[in-house]
């Protein structure tokens, strides 16, 4: 597993405002989108490209063009939807799939899958999983293996913040045959006894969309 933690003053500033409990949902959503766009720069560093002949107003040249099959962005519902706008702005030609998973509160590293809108065959596709929080790591491992069952071998996870325990669990649990990368804005201190990231930013889904009972 390859882990990349962004180190940039803009990221740190936006993340500080994002964490503030007094930040409104509207501002929170905008900041998530902006942070994801900054992360996407690093997450797509190894995006497959092919040569494309073009003509500029001055001369012909060979440029680069995103290769086929197109990459696919997969938000993990529901919080991952808040990151989708930022990713699609950076990779507008990408396809989008959806994966609904939630943590089993009695067994925090186990997941319940409740929705799937993905191609049956992901062979040869570069996949980008997006989810704001890498807490226990259970959701990320389950989602990655879910994609791998459909043929995905190149998966990059884009998260806002992570806990050390979650990173360790992912490192120990991800199928080593998968070319797997994680990009985060920050690695926080720890998980608390309820498996929430400390200091964290609260429940990302609730802060994006409001509390749903």
Would you call 109 helix, strand, or coil by DSSP? strand
Distances (CA, A) of 137 to 144, 164, 170: 11, 10, 6
Q: So what's the architecture of 2-50+63-209 in CATH?
A: 3-Layer(aba) Sandwich (3.40)
Q: Given its phi and psi angles, is residue 49 left (phi above 0), alpha (psi -120 to 50 degrees) or beta?
A: beta
Look at residue 78 in the predicted model and tell me its pLDDT.
Answer: 80
Helices (H), 134-183: 138-148, 164-173
The reply, when asked if residue 197 is annotated as ligand binding, is yes
Look at residue 108 in the predicted model and tell me its pLDDT.
Answer: 57
The reply, when asked if residue 137 is annotated as ligand binding, is yes
- pLDDT per residue, tens digit, the chain (213 aa), is 999 999 999 999 999 999 999 999 899 999 999 999 999 999 999 999 999 999 999 999 999 999 999 999 999 988 888 899 999 999 999 999 999 877 666 665 567 777 788 889 999 999 999 999 999 999 999 999 999 999 999 999 999 999 999 999 999 999 999 999 999 999 999 999 888 999 999 888 888 887 655
Per-domain boundaries in the chain:
2-50+63-209
Look at residue 106 in the predicted model and tell me its pLDDT.
Answer: 67
The reply, when asked if residue 87 is annotated as ligand binding, is no
The reply, when asked if residue 139 is annotated as ligand binding, is yes
76 DSSP β-pair partners? 99
The reply, when asked if residue 97 is annotated as ligand binding, is no
The reply, when asked if residue 138 is annotated as ligand binding, is yes
The reply, when asked if residue 78 is annotated as ligand binding, is yes
């Amino acid at each position: 597993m390859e882990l990349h933690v962004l180190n940039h003053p803009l990221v740190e500033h936006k993340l500080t405002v994002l964490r503030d409990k007094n930040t409104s949902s509207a501002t929170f959503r905008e900041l998530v989108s902006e942070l994801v766009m900054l992360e996407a720069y690093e997450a797509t560093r190894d995006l497959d490209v092919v040569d494309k002949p073009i003509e500029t107003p001055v001369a012909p040249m060979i440029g680069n063009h995103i290769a086929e099959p197109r990459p696919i962005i997969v938000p993990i519902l529901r919080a991952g939807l808040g990151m989708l706008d930022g990713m699609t702005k950076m990779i507008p030609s990408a396809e989008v799939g959806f994966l609904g998973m939630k943590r089993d509160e009695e067994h925090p590293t186990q997941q319940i899958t409740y929705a799937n809108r993905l191609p049956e065959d992901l062979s040869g596709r570069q996949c980008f999983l997006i989810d704001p929080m890498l807490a226990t790591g259970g959701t990320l491992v389950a989602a990655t293996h879910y994609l791998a069952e459909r043929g995905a071998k190149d998966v990059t996870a884009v998260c806002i913040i992570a806990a050390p325990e979650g990173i360790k669990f992912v490192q120990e649990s991800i199928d080593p045959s998968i070319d797997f990368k994680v990009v985060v804005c920050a690695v926080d201190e720890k998980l608390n006894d309820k498996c929430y990231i400390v200091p964290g930013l609260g429940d990302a889904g609730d802060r994006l969309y409001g509390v749903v009972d």
